């Protein structure tokens, strides 16, 4: 599990992978923190067997909402390949 004290839990994305279901946390982070300034608004981050979606900035803006949908689709493909293969 990735522990980042500067992140806050915003919710979860449930991914249906055939007969399995995976719940990924959505973490919010201030984009002005030192290591986050050049990162995309929304990204999938994995460390070993743990993955999460990270949102930088205003989680309710329309551009973040669209990016979140795109990253959730990316996460579905990634997790499908990881779990089903």
Q: What is the pLDDT of residues 22-80, one digit of tens each?
A: 899 999 988 776 465 577 889 999 988 889 999 988 888 888 889 999 999 999 999 88
Which pLDDT value is given to residue 11? 94
Per the structure, the count of domains in the chain is: 1
Residue 12 falls inside a structural domain: yes
Residue 3 falls inside a structural domain: no
Q: Is 9 exposed, middle or buried (0-12, 13-18, 19+ CB in 10 A)?
A: exposed
Domain around 48: 8-27+36-55+64-84
Residue 50 falls inside a structural domain: yes
Distance CA 54, CA 45 (A): 7
Residue 40 falls inside a structural domain: yes
Residue 2 falls inside a structural domain: no
Please list, in sequence order, all residues whose beta carbon lies within 8 angstroms of the beta carbon of residue 51, skipping any fewer than 6 positions away: 24, 44, 45, 75, 78, 79
pTM of the model: 0.81
């Amino acid at each position: 599990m990735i522990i980042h004290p500067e992140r806050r839990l915003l919710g979860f994305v449930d991914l249906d992978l055939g007969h399995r279901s995976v719940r990924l946390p959505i973490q919010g982070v201030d984009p002005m923190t030192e290591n986050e300034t050049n990162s995309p608004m929304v990204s999938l981050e994995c460390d070993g067997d743990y993955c999460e979606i990270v949102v930088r900035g205003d989680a309710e803006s329309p551009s973040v909402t669209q990016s979140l949908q795109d990253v959730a689709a990316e996460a579905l493909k990634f997790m499908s390949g990881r779990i089903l293969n």
